[in-house]
Amino acid sequence: MNISSLAVVHPEAKIGENVTIDPFAIIEKDVIIGDNCHVYSHAVILNGARIGTNCNIFPGAVVAGIPQDLKFKGEITTAEIGNNTTLRECVTVNRGTASKGRTIIGDNCLIMAYSHIAHDCVLKDNIIVGNATQVAGEVEIDDFATVSGGCLVHQFSRISKHVMVQGGSRIGKDIPPYTLIGRDPIVYCGINIVGLRRRGFTNQQVFLIQDIYRTLYTRGLNNTEALKAIETEYEPCIERDLILNFIKSSSRGIVRGSIDE
């Protein structure tokens, strides 16, 4: 380990092998940090932080801060960061409340500078959150989603897999999988073709996803009619079922289609 003598590290914190902790970083007692991590100068890792391996915590970041929730009564909760995840400058990740007990950021995520991840959020794997994006409590973001810089994500919202959200968006509805979301107010702008291509989706899969969303957004059907049409007109498959199940389980409702379509 390479721990600076100018860092403040509680002797009972559990620090893995080959961990670098720079001057003026602070590590509290109830903290676990996995192997090969780098905690940069002036980062603050508070009680309840659980950090995986190969993570980078940049200057000014605060992990496991007390939730900004008036219902929080001091219960013991955690903020859990997966493997190979980077928190850039001044990122804040609050720990959970009695609601779920944990705030989770998964593996291979990049949370860019000045972003906030509030209490009880669940961010899965391979997610990018752009600079200064603010994610409110109990939001769920699924694998391979990209939420661009300056977005505001309302509490309890859900963002599904392989989504791309335009910078500066205000998100108050659920965002279904594979979609490209933008404009103000936000609307469905197509599917995230670039992201899907990068992740190896075939032409057949891309065309199927496009066709399903045409049924949902451009055939003049309400959501109930569109879901029934999708169930009857398309054979069961991973892509179809993910879209259907996400929309059916949405309590906030999904983002609307563009009026230009």
Q: Give percent of the chain above pLDDT 90.
A: 98
Active site residues: 119-120, 137
pLDDT tier at 80, thresholds 50, 70, 90: very high
User: In the prediction, which pLDDT does 77 show?
Assistant: 98
User: In the prediction, which pLDDT does 260 show?
Assistant: 55
- In the predicted model, what is the mean pLDDT of residues 162-180? 98
pLDDT tier at 1, thresholds 50, 70, 90: confident
User: In the prediction, which pLDDT does 259 show?
Assistant: 58
DSSP string of the chain? -EE-TTSEE-TTSEE-TT-EE-TT-EE-SS-EE-TT-EE-TT-EE-TTEEE-SS-EE-TT-EEEEPPS-TT--S---EEEE-TT-EE-TT-EEE---TTTSEEEE-TT-EE-TT-EE-TT-EE-SS-EE-TT-EE-TT-EE-TT-EE-TT-EE-TT-EE-TT-EE-TT-EE-SBB-TTEEEETTTTEEEEE-HHHHHHTT--HHHHHHHHHHHHHHHTSS--HHHHHHHHHHHS---HHHHHHHHHHHT-SS-BPPBPTT-
